[in-house]
């Protein structure tokens, strides 16, 4: 298969200066020599990106992904090795970086489009499509300095995505805009793939990388770890990066009258408290409490939110038909979850103990424990939860 991009033993070095802001006197005393050390952002990275494929670069912050993408875009030159590309190339690295704040959105479409290589005629033909895609029609003749940050980057993305290149380089823009705009972006990527374009993506959104990419390269501290199919390699990367968190249950907010309190919470897997799980794991949510007086018919509650604050789930023991006659002193109560129904992501757990009427709250503690979920079984295509449904073959009529 023909390679659209060849990365041939690429290494890139930066100099980290220890005393760049030294005074003129200090510089003269040192003979004008600055103290620095070499930092190798990339070391001997080599792979090919097949023509017509969607290729992902994954790795932690500082692994060299963006540096490598800039070498592909010829913004940076490697200190060793070479990058060879075939066809017209466009890079979505810093959206809207070519915009002039005093010019209107309309004027910036033509300015930014020309910077990216489109002729005036091409921009005239594509202008309405660009504006429609960005969703800023109402404000297109207003200065972009008055745009919100979301409007600004959406317009920048819309211009760049309509350059119609043979090779498109994309750095961390899968999360631009709201959910509706993200769907439009993903549909546009699908169109590019269907038309045989080559796309290289850098993103921390592993669900999107797994869905959109055919192949991924895993970088770590500037060195290439593996190259392989996204379906398996993204899972291995996520599993390897989810180390147990240091549990700190002092944060969050709490309220209540205080007769009974939530002391701490745990999520157990195989009898051990953890903060890293996989979809489908059997887990136990354990709530440790202390009742400072006899509390009759208490109700215990749980809720889960994403780190962005999206409300995912809640359940209390009255609905679960488990209301003890009374509690006094210290103890714990468990909720057994046979198969964790969460898609990969990061979640916050809240807990409460309330009166039987579920109105009076003795103690309610928000975002008490943060935990990670990685890929497991069942494996489904997106969203926050898994349904565990089974596909049936089509029935002809």
Domain ranges of the chain: 3-241, 253-374
- Cβ distance 259 to 350 under 8 Å? no
The helix (run of H) or strand (run of E) holding residue 368 is strand 361-374
Q: What is the pLDDT of residues 315-342, one digit of tens each?
A: 999 999 999 999 999 999 999 999 999 9
Question: Of the candidates 391, 43, 53, which has an alpha carbon nearest to the alpha carbon of residue 214?
Answer: 53
Percentage above 90 pLDDT, the chain: 52
Count other Cβ atoms within 10 Å, centred on residue 382: 10
Maximum pairwise Cα distance, the chain: 90
**Residue 77 pLDDT greater than 70, yes or no:** yes
The larger pLDDT score, comparing residue 364 to residue 154, is at 364
- Give the domain 3-241 fold: Rossmann fold (3.40.50)
- How many Å apart are CA 397 and CA 203, to the nearest integer? 44
> What confidence score (pLDDT) does residue 332 get?
97
Mean pLDDT of 103-109: 93
Q: What's the rounded mean pLDDT across residues 110-131?
A: 88
pLDDT in tens, 212-231: 788 999 999 999 999 999 87
pLDDT at 318: 95
- Res 110: pLDDT: 92
**129 vs 137: CA distance, rounded Å:** 11
pLDDT at 176: 57
Please report how many Cα atoms fall inside a 13 Å half-sphere around the Cα of residue 262, on the Cβ side.
Answer: 32
pLDDT attached to residue 95: 59
Average pLDDT in the 249-265 region? Answer: 86
Q: Which of 47, 14, 54 is nearest to 197 (CA)?
A: 54
Closest CA to 352 of 316, 323, 321: 316
Confidence band for 198, pLDDT divided at 50, 70 and 90: very high
pLDDT-based confidence at residue 282 (cuts at 50, 70, 90):
very high
What pLDDT was estimated at residue 162? 84
The verdict on domain 253-374 having CATH code 2.70.50.60 is: yes
Over residues 240-269, the mean pLDDT reads 80
Greater model confidence, 230 or 20: 230
Q: What is the pLDDT of residues 141-191, one digit of tens each?
A: 999 999 887 788 788 888 888 877 888 888 876 555 666 777 777 778 778
Token pair belonging to 33: 């020599």
Average pLDDT rounded to a whole number, residues 53-74: 91
- Cβ neighbours of 156 (radius 10 Å): 24
Helix (H) or strand (E) holding 303: strand 299-306
Pairing mode of beta strands 345-354, 276-278: unpaired
Domains 3-241 and 253-374 share a fold: no
Segment 70-91 mean pLDDT: 90
- Across 360-378, average pLDDT: 92
pLDDT higher at 163 or 109: 109
Mean pLDDT, the chain, integer: 87
**Alpha carbon 71 to chain centroid, angstroms:** 23
Q: Measured between alpha carbons, how far is 163 from 294 in angstroms, rounded to an integer?
A: 70
Q: What is the pLDDT of residue 55?
A: 94
Q: Any idea what DSSP says for residue 342?
A: B
pLDDT at 21 over 60: no
- Looking at residue 34, what is its pLDDT? 63
Q: Specify the pTM.
A: 0.63
What pLDDT was estimated at residue 309? 81
Question: What's the pLDDT band for 47 if we cut at 50, 70, 90?
Answer: very high
Paired sense of beta strands 198-202 and 54-58, if any: parallel
Rounded to the nearest 10°, the torsion over CA 56, 62, 66, 71 is -110
Spell out the SS3 assignment of 210-254: HHHCCEEEEEECCEEEEEEEHHHHHHHHHHHHCCCCCCCCCCCEE
Please report which confidence band the pLDDT of residue 356 belongs to, taking 50, 70 and 90 as the band edges.
very high
Which of 378, 49, 54 has its CA nearest to residue 210? 54
Q: How far apart are CA 248 and CA 227, in angstroms?
A: 37
- Which residues share a beta bridge with 288? 264, 332
What was the pLDDT predicted at 37? 84
Query: pLDDT tier at 206 (50, 70, 90 boundaries)?
Result: confident
99: confidence class by pLDDT, cuts 50, 70, 90: confident
| Rounded (5°) CA angle 279-282-287 | 110
Give yes or no for a contact between 74 and 51, defined as CB atoms under 8 angstroms apart.
no
């Amino acid at each position: 298969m023909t390679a659209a991009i060849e990365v041939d033993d690429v290494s890139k070095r930066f100099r980290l200066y220890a005393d760049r802001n030294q005074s003129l006197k200090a510089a003269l005393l040192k003979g004008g020599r600055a103290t620095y050390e070499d930092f190798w952002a990339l070391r001997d990275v080599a792979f090919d990106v097949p023509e017509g494929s969607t290729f992902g670069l994954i790795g932690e912050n500082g692994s060299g992904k963006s540096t490598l993408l800039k070498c592909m875009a010829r913004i940076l030159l490697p200190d060793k090795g070479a990058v060879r590309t075939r066809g017209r190339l466009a890079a979505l690295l810093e959206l809207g970086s070519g915009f002039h704040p005093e010019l209107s959105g309309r004027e910036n479409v033509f300015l930014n489009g020309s910077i990216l290589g489109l002729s005036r005629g091409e921009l005239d033909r594509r202008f309405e499509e660009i504006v429609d895609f960005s969703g800023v029609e109402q404000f297109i003749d207003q200065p972009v300095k008055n745009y919100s940050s979301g409007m600004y980057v959406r317009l920048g993305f819309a211009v760049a995505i309509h350059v119609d290149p043979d090779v498109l380089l994309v750095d961390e823009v899968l999360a631009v805009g709201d959910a509706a705009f993200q769907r439009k972006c993903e549909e546009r990527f699908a169109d590019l793939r269907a038309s045989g374009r080559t796309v290289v993506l850098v993103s921390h959104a592993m669900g999107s990388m797994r869905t959109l990419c055919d192949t991924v390269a895993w970088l770590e501290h500037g060195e290439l770890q593996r190259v392989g199919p996204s379906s398996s390699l993204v899972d291995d990367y996520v599993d390897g990066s989810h180390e147990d968190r240091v549990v700190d249950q002092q944060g969050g907010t709490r309220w209540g009258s205080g007769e009974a309190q939530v002391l701490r919470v745990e999520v157990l897997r195989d009898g051990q408290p953890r903060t890293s799980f996989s979809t489908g794991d059997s887990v136990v949510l354990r709530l440790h409490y202390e009742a400072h007086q006899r509390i009759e018919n208490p109700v215990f509650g749980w809720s889960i939110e994403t780190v962005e604050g999206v409300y995912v789930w809640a359940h209390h023991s009255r609905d679960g038909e488990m209301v003890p006659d009374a509690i006094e002193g210290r103890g714990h109560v468990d909720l057994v979850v046979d198969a964790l129904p969460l898609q990969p992501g990061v979640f916050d757990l809240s807990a409460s103990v309330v009166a039987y009427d579920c109105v009076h709250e003795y103690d309610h503690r928000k975002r008490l424990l943060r935990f990670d979920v990685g890929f497991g079984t069942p494996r489904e295509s997106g969203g926050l939860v898994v349904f565990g449904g089974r596909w049936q073959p089509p029935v002809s009529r």
